[in-house]
Chain A
Amino acid sequence: MDFDFTKEQLMFKQELIRFAKKEIVPRVQEHDLKGEFDFESFKKLGEFGILGLHFPEELGGGGADVITTVLAGEALGEAGVDGGLTLAYGAHTFLCADTIFRHGTEAQKQKFIPKLSSGEWIGCMGLTEPDAGSDVASMTTTAEKKGDKYLLNGNKMFITNGPIADVAVVYAKTQPELQHAGISAFVVEKGTKGFSAGPPLIKMGVRTSHTSELIFQNCEIPEENLLGKEGEGFLMAMQTVEWDRSALLAPFVGSATYLLKKCAQYAKGRVQFGRPIGQFQATKHKLAEIRIFGEAARSLVYRIAWCKDQGRPLNHLEAAVAKLYVGDWSMAPTFDAVLIHGGYGYCHEYDVERIFRDSRLAPIGGGTSDIQKMIISKLM
Chain B
Amino acid sequence: MNFDFTQHEQKLFKEINDIMLEMAGEKYLEEKDPVNAGKTVREALIRLANSSYLKLGIVKDEEIPGLCVMMGAMEIVSSFSQSLYLSIEMSTRLFGRIISTFGNEEQKKKWLSPVLCGKKLGAVALSEKTMNIDNDQMETTGVRESALIKISGAKNYVINGPVADFTAVAGIMENKPALFIFEKGSIGLIPGEHLVTMGYDGLFISGLTLDECRINESDVIGPFEDKSAFDTLRMWENQIIIGGSLGMMKASFESAKIFAKTHKTGGKPIIAYQEVAFKLAEMLTLFQTSQLFAYRAAWAADAKSRESDILTYCAKVFCTEAAETVSGSALRILSGEGYISGNAAERAYRCAKYGQIAGTSTEIARVKIGNAALGA
Contact = CB atoms under 8 A, between A and B. Distances in A.
B277 A284 contact: no
A263 to B, nearest CB: 8
B95 interface: no
A137 interface: no
Contacts of A140: none
A296 B316 CA distance: 12
Contact of A324 (B281, B295, B299, B314): B281
A284 B374 contact: yes
B299 A377 contact: no
Nearest to A268: B374
Interface in B246-266: 257
Interface of B: 1-5, 68, 257, 271, 274, 277-278, 280-282, 284-285, 288-289, 292-293, 295-296, 299-300, 303, 310-311, 314-315, 317-318, 363, 365-367, 369-376
B332 to A, nearest CB: 15
Contacts of A292: 314, 317-318, 369
Given A67-B1, A299-B292, A372-B281, 4 more contacts: A3-B1, A260-B373, A278-B376, A321-B284
14 contacts: A1-B5, A3-B295, A260-B373, A263-B373, A268-B375, A281-B366, A284-B369, A288-B314, A300-B288, A306-B2, A370-B278, A374-B281, A376-B281, A380-B281
A281 B1 CA distance: 36
A295 B1 contact: no
Interface in A278-332: 278, 281, 283-292, 295-296, 299-300, 302-303, 305-307, 320-321, 324-325
Given A2-B299, A325-B285, A291 B369 contact: yes
Contact of A291 (B1, B282, B373, B376): B373
A278 B303 CA distance: 31
A354 B289 CA distance: 27
A380 B282 CA distance: 12
Contacts of B372: 291
A300 B375 CA distance: 27
A295 B314 contact: yes
Interface in A207-261: 260-261
A296 B293 contact: yes
A285 B373 contact: no
Contacts of A374: 274, 277-278, 281
Q: Is the interface of B mostly helix, strand, loop or mixed?
A: helix
A149 interface: no
Contacts of B284: 321, 376, 380
Contacts of A290: 373
B221 to A, nearest CB: 32
Contact of A380 (B257, B292, B303): B257
B279 to A, nearest CB: 9
A291 B314 contact: yes
A295 B370 contact: no
A373 interface: yes
B252 to A, nearest CB: 14
B374 to A, nearest CB: 5
A380 B280 contact: yes
A219 B372 CA distance: 58
Residue in B271, B285, B363 whose Cβ sees the most chain A Cβ within 10 Å: B285
A344 interface: no
Residue in B2, B278, B281 whose Cβ sees the most chain A Cβ within 10 Å: B281
A267 B277 contact: no
A222 to B, nearest CB: 43
Given A3-B299, A324-B281, A376-B284, A303 B3 contact: yes
Instruction: Report, nearest first, the 10 A-B pairs whose CB atoms are least far apart.
Output: A284-B370, A377-B277, A299-B292, A288-B369, A376-B281, A373-B281, A288-B366, A373-B278, A287-B370, A287-B373
Nearest to B303: A4
Contacts of B3: 1, 302-303, 306-307
Contact of B367 (A264, A284, A321): A284
B277 to A, nearest CB: 4
Given A264-B373, A370-B278, A377-B271, A3 B285 contact: no
